[in-house]
Structure 1
Amino acid sequence: MLSLLRRLWRVPRWRWSVLLVLLLGGCSAVALQQLDARFGTPSPHNREVSHDSFAGRQWESEVKPVIETRCVVCHGCYDAPCQLKMSSAAGIDRGMNPAPVYDGTRLLAANLTRMFEDADTTEKWRNMNFSPVLNERVDSPEANLEGSTLFRALSQKRKVPLPVTDEGLLPEDRFDLSLNRSQVCAPVERYDDFAEDHPDWGMPYALPQISDEEHRTLVNWLAQGSLMTGPIPLPKSLAPRLQKVEAFLNGDSLKQRLMTRYIYEHLFLTHLYFPGINGPDGRPIFFKLVRSSTPPGEPLQRISTRRPYDAPYTAYPGDARLTMPHDDAGRPRVYYRLWQERATILAKNHLPYSLSEARLERWKALFLTPQYAVDDLPDYDLKTASNPFLTFEAIPAESRYRFMLDEAQNTIMGFIKGPVCRGQVAVDVINDHFWVGFTDPDLFSRPEVERTLAREGKNLSLPAAQSSNALPISSWIKFEGKQTAYLEAKQALMTKAYADGNLRLDTRVMWDGSGWADGPGGEHNPNAALTIYRHFDNAAVMKGLVGSTPKTAWIIDYPMLERIHYLLVAGFDVYGNLGHQLITRLYMDFLRMEGESNFLALLPAGERQAVHDSWYRDVGSGLEGLLFKKPPQFDAPSGIVWTPEELSSPEQARLGLMTRMHQRLAPELEQGRSLSNVKNTFVRHELEALSAVRGFAASLMPEVTIIALDGGDGGSPQLFSVLRNSAHANITSLFDEAANRRPQEDSLDVLRGVAGDYPNAFWHLTPERLDGLAERVAALEDEDDYRALMADVGIRRTDPRFWEFSDSVLRANYADRPVESGLLDYNRLQNR
């Protein structure tokens, strides 16, 4: 007994405090004045410690992994509840704000609240209406716990565990899982009232509580003051690589400066990395290309503006044009620097881009070797800066196009994974599954093409020229006229090229991937063919022609690809008003129809209209008929020699063209997603049968289901994705997509690996349990059937095994795609 008392006496005092608060359940009724009276008035703390300190090692090895895998999966992006972004130490310290970033009804653009950009201290975030989730009063164990919203939320979950119905579901009257649900962002001073009103809403919200060990880890960390580290120290081997890249990007000639502005405006969202140089976790160390007022070699002073092409001096208060660095000609001098990523990598906004040894040589060959003159640098006036055809007119169009094609998946992922994170405005303009090819970049090396682009530059202007506040109807009328004028000029150019024999309407018009590839394959590039899977408010982009043959395909040319980027990436403002978001959506309709028209032009002339009409069934003759009228068609005959069967119907012609598209791009097709790579014949057969399910039964499936297939050997599971392709009569509806749904035409595709960043459901299976699964899915008739299936094979969000299962999926995904993968988002997990 004496020995026990001695050991207890040596326990640090703060641990007694932790134990006491845990025993009490953390439910002290503490009013604001009581907190102030006991622990003083709040003010932000400095919580950063070095990586080699005891607290730093504890944060990195024990605390941070728990926060990432249990918190960041819901609190990681613009749509993090209460803007609480826990994907970085700075985000946790910043805290929460009740104002939603996603608001499709606001009349005026909102103030910016981007991490690492719009405030650089916790004090500034407090002035922007962010309240802390960590204690900011006196630093003591009692205060650190009682004054922490995060501790209160964790303790509330243990006091009131997740309620589960007899069916294994959450009670629908006690939880709202809709994306636009009302959020209650209670600071610590009002947390008791929140807990009384919503006793079931402890954290993690609508998911099982974390383990006892994980809870103790977080509570101990909170009690000790919530100390965290900054960015990881960079390996010495990176220094010369960083210096080389920054030196290349900051050359003094006008040609170099124009090149780097172009590169920056296309890669500002990208996660750049150096192959072969990894961090302590074995994964690449990622950087972002940013603008700085200081040159390489000096501390980086980041310039943050609403858009990447805004004038750099607008990032500073007052007339900063007087204090910005300038060159000898009086032009603002901007430097381009590599800024180390501070946040956890999330799959939903991860755009990896290799800075290999060959990359700089490629950029040099594209932008510096060609002979062209840059007599002056373009300014930052919004009307011209938002239009790349005016700003970068001096750079050859072929060079610009090849730059984007080199990493076309990354280019397209910009509007899928860019600033949107909740992308219904961006993605309800596209079909659920379609293939993408690109026109041959050699076509844009011709002088007549350059002249046409220069002449049509103003007609290629984009909605962002009106900033983040726009009037949608008048804007649409203006841009519709510009688009029509441009298409007429394009038609005239194509007609002349066709007559001169410089344009052939066959599959050779498509880029075959030749030109440059950074890695195995040499001169052939797998970015030549892409597949897009769209879901209700998010999407995925994959290399190759993936899945079953889709209904539609796009052929994208340079002006279209450039406008997609400046419309939905560089020019899109997630904080913009209703008008800005609506006109962006309407303009994207122009681009979708243009890409479809490029594809239709390769069909037999007599079948083009019928195929187009099959994509736009039931479009009314009123407003929608006006908004989505068929664009002008190039009416020259196709150069493809068609078989009698292909000419027998519009559907056969469409399928024939898609088969020929597949044959044209076959050498470049990425096969990693294909079930043909599954070695187990039985598993492959059963998954292929599941992928063949069509009709109403398919419509009862979630949009994204991840299957973890255990081999029974204790190793990592094999991961597969079941994607539901939602059929539509047309995709012209701006606000009532459900009216155009055709569930009886839905289909499924099963792909290898994780093919969606927002899973709706998890299945946990063994190979034996695949037997008969496809037949069971095909027999689904109603919601009760689906719930019975989930009860048998699913890991619901209420399942006590949920977190253990989640960890196994995460590990397998990292092993499968070490560069491309990131944390998944659990905000779309269904309660079914």
Structure 2
Amino acid sequence: MTDQIMSANWNQLTDQTSNFPYFKLGLFKMMKYLVPLVFFIIAGCASILYQSTDYAALYGPSAPKSRLVTQNERLASSVSFSKDVKPILDSRCVVCHGCYDAPCQLKLGSIDGIDRGASKQVVYDFARLKAADPTRLFVDATDTVAWRKKGFHPVLNERNDSEEANLDNSVLAKLIQLKRLNPQPVAGKLSNDYDLGFDHSLECPAMDEFTQYQHQHPNWGMPYAMPGLSLKEENIILRWLEQGAKVEPAAPLSNQAINAVKKWENYFNGSSLKQKLVFRYLYEHLFIGHIHFKGHPDNEFFQWVRSKTPPGQAIEEINTIRPYDNPGPDPFYYRLRLVTETIVDKNHFVYELSNDKMGRYNTLFFNADFQVTDLPDYKPEIAANPFRAFQQIPLTARYQFLLDDAYYFVSGFIKGPVCRGEAATGSIRDHFWVVFNQPGVMDLEKVSKALAENNQILGLPGEELDAIGLFGWSKYDEFGKQYLYKKNEFYDHVLPGSQGFGLNNIWDGDGHNTNAALTVFRHFDSATVTKGLVGDTPHTGWVVDYPILERLHYLLVAGYNVYGTAGHQLASRTYMDIVRQDAEDNFLRFMPAMQRQVIYDSWYMGSKGILTADPLFNIDHETAVKYQTTDYKKEFFDQVRMRLGKAAGLADTINRCEQTECVRMGVNEVQRDVDSQMRNLAKLKGLELSALPEMSLLRVKTGDPQGDLVYTLIVNRAYSSLSRILFQDSRRVPEYDTLTVVPGFIGSYPNFFFSVDKNQLGEFVQMTRTTKTETGREQFFSDFGIRRTNPGIWHYSDWFNLKHRNDRGLEAGLLDMNRYHNL
């Protein structure tokens, strides 16, 4: 209003003096000096307004302090970190502050992360020309003093210890109190004052910047853009901070866990050349995941690391960027480090160790008849290329090791070492199925020889580490394209006559291994893999062979540096296009020869871009698959399901119902009724899906909260082509979008929660189909959605996370709220 009055007065004044040019000239001369004067006055007021408290004068110098509670403090304390505080932090804070995408790198899943504090350094920067120093919690610094040297500032009080200082000098306390002073609306959408953009900038205020922060952003208290803590939760957190933010000593490992760690560390540190080479290979594939001992508690996980110290001593982790980087001249040891952070779903994938697994390793590697004469160098051009580094290990052993747990390894590509993966996920479709080449069908000696002869063009961008230039991608893309041509020539040579690939070339999972068929869903910058062929027949499919599996791992997991340069990230992204095309070409080899180009062209409508290789799929070799219809993709996967049997997993009776009555196995009458409505929902396509975000969770209320059901709604967004890195939105073809409805949970980042009474499901389906206008969306989300402003959203978040843990057990971690939409 003030601005409008000033504008009106200015216009009135200039109108009245329009006939007096000397007055106007004088006025503009006056404004020339007046504007800067006003600016300095405002700036001076701002400096007074935002003047920070002199905390050093009030509370003494700042220095990290021990957070471990003493016996006397434990007796005097009224709040327990593990019992009272951590459950609140996990459910209200860690759901956004975890992994590399934690705002301001403030990771609240452990006291180590809380005490480390926050940083203004950006982890995800796709334009940097120089690699950033890594800041991996537990790895790149071992104490809070070292983190301060790396630029992290405290969010807890580090000055004199008093109740007043512990609150007044704590960023964490200030942010919680700011939310209490400025609560957000309790209905409708949040205003534009909240920056919820995917790549929004972060303030990350230190204590001496907080006064300015709270004046400029009074609504940006924590939890950010979500309802505040309850009074009870807030009181518990503030009392804990007031008492010095102390934590109890961690519970000691059980004897069961100690014995398991000792057994496996001794096994991994065998002294023979064969043992050293094999366990180097296993380590480079398993370092990223969460190791679990079969039969142990579901919340107990370990990470496989390299340490300067042997088993039995405290771990001193060797903090290389990549698992194949040179560990140094001194001896090192493989160790299992306990995971102490809260488990979050977005970077949680589990690899189980057991007596059976040890027996499998012995069968594949140590009972096999091969000799290791020397160990490969750690030079990048060797270490980054598994086809050179591990050439002495038989190909069959390596491939079968990967196939045994293909779900885990594909999860590694999908979740990988990052939590914002749009650089890689931009090169895959929103929904596709994955099956694998059967090992041993082709002449293994010829395959091994061909890989050895071509190991140079199988090189990956990781060979140049972060010294790769901005245009370094072109060298490896050329390598990748050469490999596709060589592979095509090889198949032409080894395939008999005009005979091509048949169903016997598809791995059957040995009749029982459900890793044999996988489904991948992409959700913009993240993705999810699940076992089985889920959803309706997708637009594309992948048939993955050993070189594809290995290159994917060393491209996106072992060789990827999230702190790397723009050149490194660009090269990783463009090479991913080559690997995707390789897997798609493999799939096309199972299609009728005369249809391969037609199908390929349907994937790359319009311009193909400069990065796509020519389609290569041995056009002269007709597939051995027999087709009865012209729906080749569907029929191929139907036959694959028949070949796999139990290894194909459960049938999808919601998205792919092909009979009069489809009933999911093991469900009750209420679930059958709800499934029938979900079947109607899954039939929606194209613009009928415009109201739904990419991934949402639906809670179906049954009248019994214990019996309420969960379905994941996944919009598979269609694109004319994936061959270009930029301007992906311009290639959107929403009229071809599809919906997959999955009982239970898929994905780590729900974009929205819906809550619908089972008797209203028909209305929900109808409104989903017909909602097209802004007014309609307002009504739709108001009736069925749980918005960011809804005071009950935390209740729903807690319910979904509890249900997730109950349904998925040790595979479950906390769902993330970073991508929750403001609808």
Report the TM-score when normalising by structure 1. Answer: 0.89
SS of the residue aligned with 2:457? helix
- Whether the 8 Å CA contact 2:690–2:771 is kept in 1: the answer is no
The C-alpha deviation readout for 1:377-412, integer Å capped at 9, x for no partner, is: 111111111000111110011111111111111101
Q: What secondary structure is seen at the aligned counterpart in 1 of 2:501? A: coil
2:392 equivalent in structure 1: 394
The one-letter amino acid of 1:290's match is: V
Moved more, 448-457 or 149-158: 448-457
Q: CA deviation at 1:33?
A: 5.9
- CA drift at 1:476: 3.3
Alignment partner of 1:511 out of 500, 507, 519: 507
Match of 1:605 among 593, 603, 622: 593
* Secondary structure of the structure 2 residue equivalent to 1:534: strand
In structure 2, what residue type is equivalent to 1:113? T
CA gap 1:490/1:154 in 2 versus in 1, 3 angstroms = same
Residues 227-306 of structure 1 mapped to structure 2, 5 A cutoff: 227-229=246-248, 231-278=250-297, 283-306=298-321
Q: Which stretch has the larger CA shift, 75-84 or 145-154?
A: 75-84
Quick check: 1:595 aligned with 2:561?
no
1:100 aligns with 2:122: yes
Look up the match of 1:659: 638
What corresponds to 2:217 in structure 1? 198
Please state if 1:491 is matched with 2:498: no
Seen in structure 2, the aligned counterparts of structure 1 residues 38 and 670 have a Cα distance that, compared at 3 Å, is same
SS of aligned partner of 2:524: coil
For 1:628, the equivalent position in structure 2 comes to: 612
DSSP-derived class of the 1:309 partner: coil
Instruction: Give 2:541's aligned amino acid.
Output: A
After superposition, the C-alpha distances for 1:432-452 in whole angstroms (9 at most, x for unaligned) are: 000000001224772111111
2:195 is matched with which residue?
A: 176
Residue type matched to 1:662 in 2? R
Asked if 1 retains the 8 angstrom alpha-carbon contact of 2:79 and 2:85, the reply is no
Judge conservation of contact 2:476–2:571 (CA < 8 Å) in 1: no
Cα separation, partners in 2 of 1:555 and 1:231, compared to 1, 3 Å: farther
Check 1:363–1:616 CA distance in 2 against 1; reply closer, same or farther (3 A cut): same
- C-alpha displacement of 1:567: 0.2
- Aligned residue among 413, 419, 422 for 2:420: 422
Secondary structure of 1:721's partner? Answer: strand
**AA aligned opposite 1:211:** S
Q: Distance in 1 between matches of 2:497 and 2:595?
A: 25
Q: Using the alignment, how far apart are the partners of 1:183 and 1:121 within structure 2?
A: 25
Name the CA shift for 1:600/1:50 in 2 (closer, same or farther; >3 Å): farther
What SS does the corresponding residue of 1:635 show, helix, strand or coil?
coil
1:641 shift after superposition: 5.2
Residues 29, 189 of structure 1: alpha-carbon distance in 2 compared, 3 angstrom cutoff: farther
Structure 2 letter corresponding to 1:496:
H
Distance in 2 (CA, whole Å) between partners of 1:732 and 1:231 is 50
SS of 2:541's equivalent in the other structure is: strand
One-letter code of the match for 1:215? E
What's the CA shift for 1:340? 0.2
**CA–CA distance in 1 between the matches of 2:52 and 2:108?**
25
For residue 555 of structure 1, the aligned residue among 543, 546, 556 is 543
Counterpart contact for 1:704–1:761, Cα < 8 Å: yes
Match of 1:670 among 636, 649, 670: 649
Contact 2:473 2:567 in 1 (8 A): no
Structure 1 unaligned spans of 5+:
1-27, 314-320, 325-332, 515-522, 647-651
Which residue does the alignment assign to 1:212?
231
Preserved CA contact (<8 Å) 1:462 1:567: yes
Residue of 570, 579, 582 corresponding to 2:558: 570
**Is residue 607 of structure 2 the alignment partner of residue 619 of structure 1?**
yes
Q: Distance in 2 between matches of 1:811 and 1:182?
A: 32
Matches within 5 A, 1:37-116: 37-49=57-69, 58-116=80-138
Q: How far apart are residue 500 of structure 1 and its match?
A: 7.6
Change (3 A) 1:102 1:385: same
Cα gap change, 1:698/1:764 in structure 2, threshold over 3 Å: closer, same or farther?
Answer: same
1:477 and 1:446 map into 2 onto residues whose CA distance is 31
CA contact (8 A) 1:230 1:342 kept: no
Q: Distance in 1 between matches of 2:268 and 2:651?
A: 34
**Deviations 1:596-635, CA, capped at 9 Å, x for gaps:** 0000001111000000000000125xxx1x3113332212
CA distance in 2 between counterparts of 1:416 and 1:787 reads 34
**1:638 and 2:627 are equivalent in the alignment:** no
Aligned to 1:150: 172
Distance, in Å, in 1 between the alignment partners of 2:519 and 2:764 is 27
Shift of 1:572: 0.7
Which one of 722, 734, 739 corresponds to residue 713 of structure 2?
A: 722
Distance 1:398-1:50 versus aligned 2 partners, 3 A rule: farther
Contact 1:273 1:355 in 2 (8 A): yes
Q: Indicate the residue corresponding to 1:4 in structure 2.
A: none
1:132 and 2:131 matched = no
> Using a 3 Å threshold, how does the CA distance of structure 1 residues 566 and 670 change in structure 2: closer, same or farther?
same
Q: How big is the shift at 1:50?
A: 7.8
Deviates more, 1:47-56 or 1:440-449: 47-56
Residue of 479, 498, 511 corresponding to 2:476: 479
Equivalent residue in structure 1 for 2:181, among 159, 163, 177: 159
- Within 5 Å, give how 1:759-774 maps onto structure 2: 759-774=750-765
1:803: which partner in 2? Answer: 794
Tell whether 2:679 aligns with 1:688.
yes
Q: Deviations over 1:19-45 (max 9, x none)?
A: xxxxxxxxx999656311121011001
| 1:246-395 to 2 correspondences below 5 Å | 246-278=265-297, 283-313=298-328, 321=329, 324=330, 333-395=331-393
Tell me what 1:117 maps to: 139
- TM-superposed CA distance for 1:712, in Å, is 1.5
Partner of 2:369, secondary structure, is: coil
Change (3 A) 1:216 1:153: same
Instruction: Kindly state the Cα deviation for residue 766 of structure 1 after the two structures are TM-superposed.
Output: 2.1
After superposition, what is the alpha-carbon deviation per residue over 1:475-530, rounded to whole angstroms, capped at 9, x for unaligned?
Answer: 333223322332333223322331289x851121010101xxxxxxxx62100000
Structure 2: distance between partners of 1:559 and 1:214: 52
1:554 and 1:596 in contact (8 A); partners too = yes
Alignment deviations for residues 214-244 of structure 1 (CA, whole Å, 9 cap, x no partner)? 0000001000000124654211112221111
Give, as a single letter, the amino acid of the residue that structure 2 aligns with 1:45.
K
SS in 2 for 1:554: strand
Asked if 2 retains the 8 angstrom alpha-carbon contact of 1:269 and 1:418, the reply is yes
Letter matched to residue 302 of structure 1: E
Shift of 1:673: 7.2
Larger Rg, first or second structure (1 or 2): 2
Cα offset for 1:298? 2.1
Who is 2:9 aligned against? none
SS in 1 for 2:306: strand
With 43-52 and 290-299 compared, the bigger mean Cα shift is at: 43-52
For residues 311-347 of structure 1, the C-alpha deviation after alignment (integer angstroms, 9 at most, x for no partner) is 112xxxxxxx3xx2xxxxxxxx321110000111000
Cα displacement (A) at 1:769: 1.7
1:520 aligned partner: none
Q: Distance in 2 between matches of 1:56 and 1:336?
A: 41
Task: Give 3-state SS (helix, strand or coil) of 1:109's partner.
Answer: coil
Report SS of the residue matched to 2:160.
coil
Tell me, yes or no, if the aligned pair for 1:398 and 1:444 is still in contact at 8 Å: no
1:535 aligned onto 2:523: yes
Q: Is the 8 A contact 2:115 2:156 kept in 1?
A: yes
8 A contact 1:415–1:426 mirrored in 2: no
Aligned to 2:31: none
Identify which range, 130-139 or 480-489, moves more after superposition: 480-489
Quick one: which amino acid aligns to residue 603 of structure 1? M
Residue by residue over 1:356-384, the C-alpha shift from the partner in whole angstroms, topping out at 9 and shown as x without a partner, is: 22111111111111111111111111111
Q: CA 1:30–1:120 in structure 2 vs 1: closer, same or farther (change >3 Å)?
A: farther
Aligned to 1:35: 55
Name the SS for the 2:476 alignment partner. Answer: helix
Do the aligned residues in 2 keep the contact of 1:546 with 1:674 (CA within 8 Å)?
A: no
